[in-house]
Amino acid sequence: MRPPRLAETLLTVLLPEGYRGDSVRGDLFEEYTERARKSRRRAAIWYWVEALRVGFRYVGSRRVPVFNGPGRPTPGSRLDRASRTSWMRDLAFDIRFGFRGMKREPGWSLATLGTLGLAIGATSGIFAVVYGILLRPLPYPDPGRLVSLEFTPSSQATLEEASSWDDRMRRHYRRSITFPAYESLARGVVRTRRGPGAGNDHRPFWGLGAFDATWSYDVSLGEEGGTQRLGGVLASASLFQVLGIPPLVGRWTSEEEDQPDTRGAVLLSYRLWQDRLGSRRDLDGVQATVNGIPYTVVGVMPPNFGFPSETVDLWISLSHASRGLGSTNYEVVGRVVPGPDERQVDGALASQRVGLIRTGGPDWEMRPSVTPLQSSLVGEVRPALALLFCAVSTLLLIACVNVMNLALTRATRKEQEHGLRAALGAGPGRLARLLLTESVLVSILGAVLGLGLTWIIVNAVPGFAPEAVPRKASVRLDGAVLVFTGAVAVVVGLAVGLVPALHAVRLRSGTRLIPGFRWSSWGSVERRLRDGLVVVQLGLALVLLVSGSLLIRSFAALLNEETGFDPVSVLTFETSLPGDEYAEASARRAFYQELNDRVLSLPGVREAGMTIYLPAGGQFHWGDIEMEGHSPAPGQEVRVEQKEVTPTYFDVLGMDLLEGRPFRAEWVWSDAKEVVVTESLGRRHLAGESPIGRRINTGEDEWWTVVGVVADVRHRGAERDVPTVFFPYYSYRGGLDVALKVEGDPGVLALPIQRILADMDPDVTLFSLMPLEARLGRAVAGPRFQAFLVGAFGLLSALLSVVGIYGVMAYAVTRRTREMGIRRALGAESSRIVGRVAAHGFRLTLFGVGLGLVGVFLLTGLLEGFLFGVGPHDPTTLILAVSLLSGASLVACLVPAFRAARTDPLLALRSE
């Protein structure tokens, strides 16, 4: 049992050398041991408190030898120690002085501590989030050498085609290639021999690993059965060597287990191992059935391993993975050899080409390049986090201005005291140090209080942040965050204390001893400073308030968006077909025909519709079409989203038919050459003419007739205003998504649907079984997160600045009590006094709001990417925010104004 190390060290520094100091430490140690027998934690706290009390008491009492001689003391000499001690003694005194000051003015301390605690706590909390997600090094050995490979079109033809890709498509093809492409790339760039024998091998990678995190899997483990849908990753054996994290139990998968048609292997996450296998260490003979295929469980990864995201529970060898040329789903990570930097690696990769072979057009040729793994894992959340950090920094700035104003007020109040100190011989430096120490002390105490808020933010974020935010588990309240908090506290303390310190330094001894001697030049400088601070504060608050309101309005717009369909009471799921059995279109049709009939027979299901992609799922299929009687200018081709749907799809999703008719419902599978289009096709490409009856061609020389027009389907994520052409389901090669219009609780249908599919074909995978509303909810989780936080910061900042202006006005009135009293005594009417005081406040508000508007126009443009359905300079939002802020601030001015008007003349005159 040892007392806290740091406290012991502190004591050693503060206590005198020799056995006296030693004996004190012995005494405290003795008592600590005694107390620790009852409770170690309490004993540790006690030890800290006593170490500080005794230590500082000692330092504070030490006699300082006077040093009069020229020059500096020799380092390490007694005199040197003495001067160090004197410095510490001053510090101890200043700290005690600070505490006493706070005790004497509880109102001031409470306001300052509260404001700073709130702002520093929130800033530290957001910093913890930003640090954990963006900055903390990845938990792999030598993470700086881990890179993610990216691919950009290299041939002219590919480049031309790529120019028409939409954002999501571009993102997908930037990251993902086919397995054959990965293999040939690995042959070209990975060193085969290491060490001294490597000779002239200049290839830039120690290893490359491929993974496909697109899917999730139905998994049962061990003998107990019970299938669970889990996040899984298809991972090449080399991936684990590249990442370099050894398994906790067992071994990694091997290259043999990646070969096609061998018995595959899986690695389990720690979480899954605990839950489903009860942490048994003996994995011999344990098997996992993944989507109906048996795999051997070969190992368990340690608890903190989560690649590429924390939701992954299973790493599956590639034995049964799709290696087809059509499966462009493999992302590639690599470990670079020591030495070359990113540019040199890119140089070494310049000669490499990755071919993506396609069936429906010319092959694409891509050139690989590298980007640090860390930034590629977190790249997409960076702007959102930057936004949050900006917002919270503004809040901190506003809080600082508030506290600065409070400090200034206090400094003026204490002019006499400081003047007295100066008169008694305190040099300007000493006085400044006293005030700075005091303000840093307050700021640090505020930060300590604020850590409570930091803790709340750190713990709430993983639950509250959208699912897609990576690395949430590495958001922790740890040393790095504490260092940041400490640094912010000190900087804020110094900044806030600077003005009062300068104020005190400018005092000449004596001048401030005379009561009532006030209307000096400093007075006007100070007044202007205070007014300026309020103006800045109001301006900043307006910017933050407008930003928050914009995000909230944008979020509301998302929720109330006219989607073109009705998601209520619609249950959805997705299916995926195993390749070989369903190679023939007729087999696929037969399967879905049966599925359709069987789900319709379930109680509560009113209608079933199928499509290749449900809305808000993030998937899409683009293509150019040719329209009869429409010859577009080059570059103006008719680009549409193409979707195959069953005839009942429109009914299930409640899509409004605007014109014509839907597909003939009597056919479940229609082979009539008819299409239904969304209204924007006519609006955009036919100058508003009705497209009904027109024929369109998808490029395969098949002509389809438009028979119906439905309302546009919109949802966040899809390019708005891009027309969709619905084809009858005919031959789409992949699995279909199913939407069911249900009555009552859709939850009770989950199990029967799973049973039906398992019964029909256990190899067919069922996934994402959820209400359509939940799908839409997932799409707005990000905006909800930003809107909530920035909105909260905006309101908080408005509150702080209103308190700020109230403080300034109230103070101005107090200072002018005498003047008001005289005016009243000479017969001034109350209304005139109110007017005078309020006018001052109004002016400040006006300037502040003006400044804020300039800021809004300069800065909110940066928000554009986060907004939906509302512009960055939306007038309604602006008017609302301006009236809210100025209204509150005017009320804050009127309260002291009325108080001024009620001043009793006699009392006022006596007050000086």
Residue in 50, 218, 346, 415 binding another protein, rule: CB under 8 A: 50
Alpha-carbon torsion 278, 281, 287, 290, what sign? positive
- Ramachandran angles phi, psi of 332, nearest 5°: -125, 130
Given a contact cutoff of 8 angstroms between Cβ atoms, the answer to whether 461 and 122 are in contact is no
Residue 595, token pair as written in the block: 């599925």
Does residue 100 belong to the site contacting another protein (CB under 8 A)? no
Residue of 639, 625, 683 lying closest to 658 (CA atoms): 683
Residue in 37, 40, 42, 57 binding another protein, rule: CB under 8 A: 57
d(CA 673, CA 707): 10
- Closer to another protein by Cβ: residue 86 or 509: 86
> Which range of residues in 23-31, 326-334, 588-596, 739-747 is near another protein by CB under 8 A?
23-31
d(CA 821, CA 827): 10
- Closer to another protein by Cβ: residue 26 or 65: 26
Does residue 429 belong to the site contacting another protein (CB under 8 A)? no
Does residue 54 belong to the site contacting another protein (CB under 8 A)? yes
Q: Shortest distance, CB of residue 69 to another protein, whole angstroms?
A: 24
Peptide bond into 896 cis (omega under 30): no
Other Cβ atoms closer than 10 A to 9? 11
Q: Shortest distance, CB of residue 87 to another protein, whole angstroms?
A: 19
Q: Shortest distance, CB of residue 55 to another protein, whole angstroms?
A: 8
- Closer to another protein by Cβ: residue 18 or 75: 18
Question: CA angle 198-202-207, nearest 5°?
Answer: 80
According to DSSP, the β-strands at 570-576 and 765-771 are antiparallel
Q: Shortest distance, CB of residue 27 to another protein, whole angstroms?
A: 5
Q: Shortest distance, CB of residue 11 to another protein, whole angstroms?
A: 11
> Which range of residues in 29-37, 145-153, 343-351, 538-546 is near another protein by CB under 8 A?
29-37
Residue in 7, 36, 44, 58 binding another protein, rule: CB under 8 A: 58
- Closer to another protein by Cβ: residue 64 or 483: 64
> Which range of residues in 21-29, 106-114, 383-391, 515-523 is near another protein by CB under 8 A?
21-29
- Closer to another protein by Cβ: residue 8 or 566: 8
Question: Rounded to the nearest 10 degrees, how much is the dihedral formed by the CA atoms of 370, 252, 311, 210?
Answer: 30
Q: Shortest distance, CB of residue 66 to another protein, whole angstroms?
A: 17
> Which range of residues in 48-56, 243-251, 341-349, 548-556 is near another protein by CB under 8 A?
48-56
CA atoms within 13 A on the CB side of 526: 28
Q: Shortest distance, CB of residue 445 to another protein, whole angstroms?
A: 21
Task: Kindly identify the residues of this chain, within the stretch 294-313, that bind another protein according to CB under 8 A.
Answer: none
Given a contact cutoff of 8 angstroms between Cβ atoms, the answer to whether 150 and 371 are in contact is yes
Q: Which residue has the tokens 């795999």?
A: 295
Q: Shortest distance, CB of residue 213 to another protein, whole angstroms?
A: 55
Residue in 47, 56, 252, 330 binding another protein, rule: CB under 8 A: 56
Q: Shortest distance, CB of residue 431 to another protein, whole angstroms?
A: 27
Residue of 572, 567, 601, 595 lying closest to 582 (CA atoms): 595
Altogether, the residues listed in the chain come to a count of: 912
Does residue 93 belong to the site contacting another protein (CB under 8 A)? no
Q: Shortest distance, CB of residue 148 to another protein, whole angstroms?
A: 53
Does residue 30 belong to the site contacting another protein (CB under 8 A)? yes
Burial of 875 (0-12, 13-18, 19+ CB in 10 A): exposed
Q: Shortest distance, CB of residue 63 to another protein, whole angstroms?
A: 9
Given a contact cutoff of 8 angstroms between Cβ atoms, the answer to whether 25 and 15 are in contact is yes
Does residue 767 belong to the site contacting another protein (CB under 8 A)? no
Residue in 7, 24, 543, 800 binding another protein, rule: CB under 8 A: 24
- Closer to another protein by Cβ: residue 42 or 661: 42
- Closer to another protein by Cβ: residue 96 or 413: 96
- Closer to another protein by Cβ: residue 33 or 520: 33
d(CA 172, CA 175): 6
Does residue 27 belong to the site contacting another protein (CB under 8 A)? yes
Does residue 23 belong to the site contacting another protein (CB under 8 A)? yes
Does residue 894 belong to the site contacting another protein (CB under 8 A)? no
Question: What pairs with residue 638 in β-bridges?
Answer: 625
Residue in 6, 9, 26, 586 binding another protein, rule: CB under 8 A: 26
Local structure of 387: helix, strand or coil? helix
d(CA 275, CA 814): 67
Local structure of 179: helix, strand or coil? helix
Residue 420, token pair as written in the block: 């007295």
Q: Which residues, in sequence order, are CB contacts of 775 under 8 Å at separation 6+?
A: 567, 572, 614, 615, 616, 617, 768
Q: Shortest distance, CB of residue 76 to another protein, whole angstroms?
A: 23
Local structure of 613: helix, strand or coil? coil
- Closer to another protein by Cβ: residue 82 or 713: 82
Radius of gyration of the chain (CA): 36
Residue in 41, 61, 688, 826 binding another protein, rule: CB under 8 A: 61
> Which range of residues in 16-24, 308-316, 356-364, 458-466 is near another protein by CB under 8 A?
16-24
Other Cβ atoms closer than 10 A to 755? 12
Quickly list DSSP for 62-77: PPPPP--SSS-PPTTS
Q: Shortest distance, CB of residue 437 to another protein, whole angstroms?
A: 20
Residue in 6, 9, 13, 20 binding another protein, rule: CB under 8 A: 20
Q: Which residue has the tokens 């700020």?
A: 804
Q: Which residues, in sequence order, are CB contacts of 353 under 8 Å at separation 6+?
A: 154, 365, 366, 367
Applying CB under 8 A, the site for another protein has a residue count of: 21
Residue of 637, 844, 618 lying closest to 717 (CA atoms): 618
CA atoms within 13 A on the CB side of 436: 16
Q: Shortest distance, CB of residue 131 to another protein, whole angstroms?
A: 38
> Which range of residues in 20-28, 134-142, 372-380, 568-576 is near another protein by CB under 8 A?
20-28
> Which range of residues in 19-27, 234-242, 548-556, 859-867 is near another protein by CB under 8 A?
19-27
Q: Shortest distance, CB of residue 49 to another protein, whole angstroms?
A: 10
Quickly list DSSP for 682-739: HHHHSTT---TT-EEE-SSS-EEEEEEEEPPP--TTSPTT--EEEEES---SSPPEEE
Does residue 844 belong to the site contacting another protein (CB under 8 A)? no
Q: At what angle do helices 479-506 and 382-413 cross, to 10 degrees?
A: 30
Does residue 19 belong to the site contacting another protein (CB under 8 A)? yes
Does residue 25 belong to the site contacting another protein (CB under 8 A)? yes
Given a contact cutoff of 8 angstroms between Cβ atoms, the answer to whether 361 and 623 are in contact is no
d(CA 679, CA 723): 7
Local structure of 642: helix, strand or coil? strand
Does residue 29 belong to the site contacting another protein (CB under 8 A)? yes
Does residue 65 belong to the site contacting another protein (CB under 8 A)? no
Given a contact cutoff of 8 angstroms between Cβ atoms, the answer to whether 504 and 438 are in contact is no
Binding mask 594-633 for another protein (x = CB under 8 A): ----------------------------------------
Does residue 331 belong to the site contacting another protein (CB under 8 A)? no
> Which range of residues in 46-54, 69-77, 138-146, 779-787 is near another protein by CB under 8 A?
46-54
Does residue 53 belong to the site contacting another protein (CB under 8 A)? yes
> Which range of residues in 25-33, 75-83, 226-234, 437-445 is near another protein by CB under 8 A?
25-33
* Binding stretches for another protein (CB under 8 A): 2, 19-20, 22-31, 33, 50, 53-54, 56-58, 61
